[in-house]
């Protein structure tokens, strides 16, 4: 038990390491941090992301429940709770790498916000032993440079398959494949990690913090030639928090129709689902982090041998739009004509040989008939010529 007291405006960071019961087993370790570290934050400009890394040695722990508790300035109420996700969406850079993350948008006032994370098993936590943390790289392009530098004092680590050629094929976006044969259940555990605190100098004034996060895992699969399934992980009203107002979904045979600059083009007729139509569809207007399912009934069947492209854009309640999602593909190959169901070659050979034998037999019969049969019927060649006279 550790007791802390002092000025609430001062930063205190505490790390606690737990030992495994079995000395042969590495302990499950949890480390949490805030994207802004302990610097002052203008929350109207700089997004705040909370991270927690859960691992056993270098191996990621996936499927755990990770909950962040944020104590707001001058708050006498209990802390705000948000579940951090390892789903590769929103604030989470890579799915299944054991780093759980989520944007924090619930600002009430300026002042210092304190954050801690708690991690536990709900029967679905596994140590993913099939992968190694080998390549360290800056994830440029996903965050503006300023964001990246502020994400963490730690170096973000990409996880790579030990045997990439034999691993399962990840769907799309950035994810660590999960091989159940190389995973072990963690069993019950509970860890707590203090992420520290950050001081907000300015809060968003408009009442709406941000647009929805970009969807990165839109997938398309056909039921038949006129019925398709689309699914994706829902973003939120603000990044990956809350619920969006609706979606625009488009489909085209020209990939260029679905780019950031062309998606809203008035000249293209690629609209599959409009914003107004989508707003009351409970199967796709779901809480951020949940899966949205959209069943599409096409007016005309899709063509075999043609590539179809799909993309969507989410809109929040302040009518702010997300960036255009990843592009999902659909392609049904043309059915090749069946090979001729002819006889096998050995049968053809037998037929040819048989035919030749029959021809030879007929030839022999004709020869014999010409040589003997006709002669016997000709009186001039009778064997008893003396009788003619």
DSSP 327: P
CB of 209 to Ca ion, least distance (A): 6
Contact pick of 92, 121, 240, 257 for Ca ion (by CB under 5 A): 92
CB of 176 to Ca ion, least distance (A): 8
CB of 304 to Ca ion, least distance (A): 38
**Is 240 near Ca ion (CB under 5 A)?**
no
**Is 86 near Ca ion (CB under 5 A)?**
yes
Contact pick of 68, 99, 115, 244 for Ca ion (by CB under 5 A): 99
Integer Cα distance of 252 and 269 in angstroms = 9
Tell me what percent of the chain is helix, strand and coil, each rounded to the nearest 5.
Answer: 15, 35, 50
Give whichever of 86 and 240 is closer to Ca ion, judged by the CB atom. 86
Q: Which two tokens stand for residue 330?
A: 């659909």
Which residues between 349 and 388 bind Ca ion (CB under 5 A)? none
CB of 133 to Ca ion, least distance (A): 13
Give whichever of 54 and 258 is closer to Ca ion, judged by the CB atom. 54
**Is 54 near Ca ion (CB under 5 A)?**
no
Integer Cα distance of 125 and 120 in angstroms = 8
102 with 240: CB under 8 angstroms? yes
Report which residue's Cβ sits closest to Ca ion: 316
Give whichever of 255 and 317 is closer to Ca ion, judged by the CB atom. 317
- Of 139-147, 231-239, 247-255, 356-364, the window that binds Ca ion (rule: CB under 5 A) is 231-239
- What x/- string results for residues 179 through 218 when contact with Ca ion is judged by CB under 5 A? -----------------------------x----------
- Of 138-146, 230-238, 297-305, 368-376, the window that binds Ca ion (rule: CB under 5 A) is 230-238
CB of 320 to Ca ion, least distance (A): 5
Integer Cα distance of 72 and 74 in angstroms = 6
Annotate 212-272 with DSSP letters as a single string. Answer: BPPP---EEEESSSSEEEEEEE---SBBTBS--SEEEEEEES-GGGGSTTTTT-TT---EE
252 phi, psi to nearest 5 deg: -155, 155
Residue 37, judged by CB atoms within 10 A of its CB (0-12, 13-18, 19+), counts as middle
Sorted by sequence, the CB contacts under 8 Å of residue 59 that are 6+ apart come out as 98, 127, 128, 129, 131
Which residues between 300 and 329 bind Ca ion (CB under 5 A)? 316
DSSP SS3 for 280 = coil
Contact pick of 43, 59, 97, 251 for Ca ion (by CB under 5 A): 97
Q: Provide the binding-site residues for Ca ion, judged by CB under 5 A.
A: 86, 92, 94, 97, 99, 208, 237-238, 316
């Amino acid at each position: 038990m550790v007791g802390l007291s002092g000025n609430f405006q001062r930063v205190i960071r505490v790390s606690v390491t737990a030992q495994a019961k079995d000395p042969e087993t590495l302990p499950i370790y949890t480390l949490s941090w805030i994207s802004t570290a302990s610097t002052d934050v203008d929350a109207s400009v700089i997004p705040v992301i909370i991270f927690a890394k859960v691992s056993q040695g270098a191996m990621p722990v996936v499927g755990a429940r990770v909950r962040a508790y944020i104590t707001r300035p001058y708050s006498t109420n209990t802390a705000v709770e948000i579940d951090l996700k390892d789903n590769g969406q929103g604030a989470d850079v890579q799915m299944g790498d054991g780093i759980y993350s989520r944007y924090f948008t619930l600002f009430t006032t300026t002042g210092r916000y304190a954050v801690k994370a708690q991690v536990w098993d709900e029967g679905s936590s596994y140590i993913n032993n099939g992968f190694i943390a080998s390549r360290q790289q800056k994830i440029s392009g996903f965050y503006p440079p300023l964001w990246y530098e502020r994400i963490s004092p730690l170096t973000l680590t990409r996880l790579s398959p030990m045997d990439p050629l034999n691993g399962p094929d990840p769907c799309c976006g950035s994810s660590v494949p999960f091989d159940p044969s190389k995973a072990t259940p963690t069993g019950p555990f509970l860890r707590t990690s203090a992420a520290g605190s950050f001081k907000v100098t300015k809060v968003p004034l408009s009442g709406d913090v941000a647009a929805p996060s970009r969807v990165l895992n839109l997938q398309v699969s056909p039921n038949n030639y006129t019925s398709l399934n689309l699914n994706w992980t829902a973003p939120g009203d603000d990044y990956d928090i809350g619920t969006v107002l609706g979606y625009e979904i488009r489909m085209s045979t020209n990939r260029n129709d679905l780019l950031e600059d062309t998606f809203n083009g008035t000249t293209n007729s690629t609209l599959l689902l409009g914003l107004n139509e989508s707003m009351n569809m409970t199967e796709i207007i779901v809480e951020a982090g949940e899966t949205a399912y959209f069943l599409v009934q096409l007016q005309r069947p899709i063509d075999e041998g043609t590539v179809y492209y799909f993309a969507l854009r989410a809109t929040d309640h302040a009518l702010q739009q997300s960036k255009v999602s990843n592009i999902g593909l659909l392609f049904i190959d043309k059915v090749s004509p069946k090979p001729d169901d002819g006889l096998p070659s050995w049968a053809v050979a037998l037929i040819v040989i048989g035919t030749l034998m029959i021809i030879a037999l007929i030839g022999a019969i004709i020869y014999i008939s010409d040589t003997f049969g006709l002669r016997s019927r000709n009186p001039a060649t009778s064997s008893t010529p003396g009788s003619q006279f």
